[in-house]
Chain A
Amino acid sequence: MKPEDEVLRRQRDRSRIMALLLGAFVVLLFFITIAKIGINW
């Protein structure tokens, strides 16, 4: 594998994982907000 290919592969893998983590974080923030609203009522 050429070095450029390896750089691209790693960047692609990291981008995918970052997207997954950000998606999970958005979902988590949504449920935290719902739970906080429930507590404050």
Chain B
Amino acid sequence: MPALEITNAAALPADWRDLLALTKPRVMSLVVFTGLCGLLAAPELPPAVLGFTAILCIALGAGACGALNQWYEADLDAKMRRTAKRPLPAGRMDRQTALHFGVGLGAFSVLLMGLAANWLAAGLLAVSILFYVLVYTVWLKPRTAQNIVIGGAAGAFPPLIGWVAATGQFAPLPLLLFAIIFLWTPPHFWALSLFVRSDYAAAGIPMLPVVAGARATRRQIFIYSLPMAAAAIAPWPLGLAGPIYGASAAILSGVFLVLAARVFGSRSSDPADMPAERHLFAYSVFYLFALFTALVADRWIAW
């Protein structure tokens, strides 16, 4: 009797590996990396232990977002092949455990950030967690195909938080870093949603390919890539970064635009036969890593 097994499994204390899986460690790696780069690009660095704690808090905040997202979307996750094996839809944990874990982790990360770094960074971390959970997960994601566009702001906070943790104030460069990730998110996720479209459709999530079709999605991917490339290159002509970053950003963004143009020109409707979309998705992850690495290299080598 599967129902009885699920009840028994949920009645057990959750395995610590499942609690770890709730935090989406793979997503966390990109968040930690961009947060660290925001901190390392700042003009003044805090003592190492405070910088480490700030990055730890960003990671814990991201983990809280993952846990609360999975708590809220357990029913949707059960309908998608990609997510059906997660701890909640698979019945290995009860929902209340995930809720308590997520809220506790989030509150702890904000308090520790305030004590170790400063309360402006802690406030930004709290806003980013609440934005991801309430604005993106609860409000926008099930309602509009533009969910990724506005929800992408949540993922754009880490470099800003890293910078503010180091300096205690805002500056033009971290705001541009925020803009880069904000504009990078739609092409990144829409490329993914083109070749996993059937999954999102089964769960009834209004992703752009489901609502507007593949052709409109490909056009939007290319359109968003243009201001993203402009924002990525902008720190150089604005005098906020040096030539190492400028040249890297120009080359990396040029390749991104070529791949986005290939997606724009693609006509395939079979998710299994979408090499251009898969290439763009894979490259988009590399792009963000390489761009932020170039920023830190530029700050530490050239300036």
Contacts and interface: CB of A to CB of B under 8 A. Distances in A.
Interface stretch (B7-15, B22-30, B141-149, B232-240): B7-15
A19 to B, nearest CB: 12
Given A3-B8, A32-B115, A14 B13 contact: yes
A7 B56 CA distance: 31
A34 to B, nearest CB: 8
Contacts of A6: 12
A11 B16 CA distance: 9
A17 to B, nearest CB: 5
B121 to A, nearest CB: 14
B53 interface: yes
Given A32-B115, A32-B116, A7 B49 contact: no
Contacts of A31: 49
Interface in B43-67: 46-47, 49-50, 53, 56
A10 B8 contact: no
Contact count band on B: 10 to 19
A17 B16 contact: yes
B16 A32 contact: no
Contacts of B15: 10, 13
Nearest to B18: A10
Interface of B: 8, 12-16, 46-47, 49-50, 53, 56, 115-116
